[in-house]
Amino acid sequence: MKITRRAALKALAGTAVLAALPRGRSAEAEATAAAPAPTGSFRHSVCRWCYQKFPLEDLAREARRIGLESVELLDPGDWPVVQRHGLTCAMANGVTRIPEGLNRLEHHAAMVPGMIDRIGACAEAGLPNVICFSGSRGGMDDELGLANCAVALRQIVGEAERRRVTVCMELLNSKVDHKDYMCDHTAWGIELVKRVGSERFKLLYDIYHMQIMEGDVIRTIRENHAVIAHYHTGGVPGRHEIDGTQELNYAAIARAIKETGHRGFVAQEFIPARDPFTSLAEAVAICTV
């Protein structure tokens, strides 16, 4: 069964926090157990929605064992779960949605204060980034969408600057997974970053999505890394493992990211077709350069 990111996020929204600790280990033991030392210039994360069949406690435990530092795309109620395992949430969920985002003025009354509140929550929890979305076109001209997103983001970034949290708009493909999504090309996202004009608003460059839309991944990263705060992976085609079964050379991409001096996170966002945690460990190894 094909699982879309939108369906997975919807299913996960509102999920109660798992309060029970794993059997046989205390909270203190989980918090103090030594994780493998990270290597490479950037840090490793994994997206929660790709492992939705596993309790978050189990995913956090396996992520730590593998050597990741983060489980991301979590709502505030889930942050303490991963923090108990010595992990962070490198990219927190915001309050915008993929089809309904900042490109429509009628959404701003709820989404602008909602994002400001979420930035404050991230700061209090020590989390570095929060995600946002442009929304779908719905017949809207891309220029008007840019203008409307900039209006909203200029109201948001002051709090982001004050609290030292980076707001990241994700680049998604509108060809396969998210039909009609507006922020579907790097150039559009770069123009939005320019208009907002804040170091606390950048792009989440999803390698899977941008390979589908425009390719030329390594050159794009090298030329535009200053406006990219975060990266996501995924095998093309199919969004499965990032190994030799797909068309991208992720070891080369990871080296290119490292060469830019990126010190943030690269998050695995593929849907495992084989043993999930074996595939996750292999993907981290491929991207550790």
For 112-165, the pLDDT digits (tens) are 999 999 999 999 999 999 999 999 999 999 999 999 999 999 999 999 999 999
- Distant-in-sequence, close-in-space partners of 263: CB < 8 Å, separation ≥ 6: 41, 42, 43
The three-point CA angle 74-134-193 to 5° equals 100
Q: 41 falls in which pLDDT band (50, 70, 90)?
A: confident
**CATH number for 250:** 3.20.20.150
Residue 209 within any structural domain of the chain: yes
Residue 53 within any structural domain of the chain: no
The three-point CA angle 91-96-100 to 5° equals 140
Beta strands, E only, the chain: 43-47, 70-72, 129-132, 166-170, 201-206, 228-232, 265-268
Residue 30 within any structural domain of the chain: no
Q: What's the chain's average pLDDT?
A: 90
pLDDT, one tens digit per residue, over 215-267 is 999 999 999 999 999 999 999 999 999 999 999 999 999 999 999 999 999 99
Query: Which of 173, 167, 170, 175 shows the shortest CA–CA distance to 134?
Result: 170
For the chain, the domain total comes to 1
Beta strands, E only, 21-164: 43-47, 70-72, 129-132
Q: Taking a C-beta distance cutoff of 8 angstroms, is the pair 213, 175 a contact?
A: yes
Residue 151 within any structural domain of the chain: yes
Q: Classify residue 59 by burial, with Cβ atoms within 10 Å: 0-12, 13-18, 19+.
A: buried
Q: What's the CA gap between 75 and 82, in Å, rounded?
A: 11
Tell me which residue range forms the domain holding 270. Answer: 61-287
Structure-token pair, residue 144: 């008007």
Residue 1 within any structural domain of the chain: no
Q: Looking at the predicted structure, is the pLDDT value of residue 107 above 50? A: yes
Residue 208 within any structural domain of the chain: yes
Residue 150 within any structural domain of the chain: yes
In sequence order, the β-bridge partners of residue 169 are: 132, 203
Residue 254 within any structural domain of the chain: yes
